[in-house]
Amino acid sequence: MRTDMNLCAYEIHSLSIKNEQIKIKELLAYGTNAFVYKVEYRDRSYILKELFPEGLSEQRVIKRDSTGAVLYRLRIIDKFKWQRVKLQFLLSIYKNRLLQRNLAVNDCVSQNVGLFRTNGTLYALYENIRGKDWSCYAGESLEELIIRCSKIAEIVYRIHRTGWLVMDVKASNFVINATESEEHIQLVDFDSMVRLSFARKKSKFYCSSETAPPELLEGRGRDVGVNSDVYSLAAMLFKKICGVSYNECKTLSLLMPFIENWSKERQSKFVNLLKMVLCPDITRRDISAIEFSRKLLELLR
């Protein structure tokens, strides 16, 4: 999600749904496909996602009129582009709701409570999550980073158990609600998720180039599996620790200044764990997300 807000000229400031007013309190972020607002509806606070794809806006396929409604050009190719992103938006909500109804993962995914078609576009309403996505956190200790990655790995494992792959594991897709006594983490983006049984039939995947494994970036669906998400977990942790993408630097030596106070044995265990999980050869990534989570926590004992 982008949070620089240099696109505020495109945001809306009020919205009416079935003659009921939604008060937009704050623009929180602008992602690839949607504005994300903090809103007030029926005297309660919610999160609202508005479908307004950045790419189509830049191509002038879509625009707003003076009332804030979304208009699109009438060329056939533009109609097709608009209908395609609307379908992707609806599929994301469908996947979110499937996981919501599954008691095994209900508590670790965002809670969609409404879908509206108005203003020329689509709106999805979510329970308000009192927190911020992990990419917005700074100043965490190495121990805090490892513990949070371990918790996210456990969430990913629970999702794997339902038959789904996350496919776009990155810090900005997980919201953390941290208090003095505890913290709660939720997955909030479902655009890229695919059924495990279907993943191997695909040749194109939507994922972050910073954390995605080679098989996703190269479209090798036959090699995709749960280990693909595990690679992304390790790449996400590397980025949080070092501040750079492993997929760009391709060296674990950047970790050393951050673990120099560890014993040689613990350093070796950590580096060897990441070396194995970040191996381009998926057959050598013989580890599940829950095993990765446990091995991370073992480093802190």
Q: What is the pLDDT along the chain (301 residues), one digit of tens a residue?
A: 444 444 444 556 777 777 788 888 888 887 778 888 899 998 999 999 999 887 776 677 788 887 778 887 778 888 888 888 899 999 999 999 999 999 999 999 999 999 999 888 999 999 998 888 999 999 999 999 999 999 999 999 999 999 999 999 999 999 999 877 889 999 999 999 999 988 888 878 888 899 999 999 999 989 999 999 999 999 999 999 999 999 999 999 999 999 999 999 999 999 999 999 999 999 899 999 999 999 999 999 8
> In sequence order, what are the residues at sequence separation of 6 or more whose Cβ sits closer than 8 angstroms to the Cβ of residue 125?
39, 41, 46, 47, 48, 112, 113, 114, 115, 116
CATH 1.10.510.10 residue ranges for the chain: 132-298
For 132-298, CATH gives 1.10.510.10
CATH 3.30.200.20 residue ranges for the chain: 8-127
Residue 129 DSSP label: P
8-127: which CATH architecture?
A: 2-Layer Sandwich (3.30)
Token digits of residue 228: 């693909």
CB-side exposure of 219: number of CA atoms within 13 Å? 3
Residue 247 dihedral angles phi and psi, to the nearest 5°: -65, -20
Calpha distance 242→235 (Å, rounded): 10
Residue 130 DSSP label: S
Calpha distance 222→196 (Å, rounded): 11
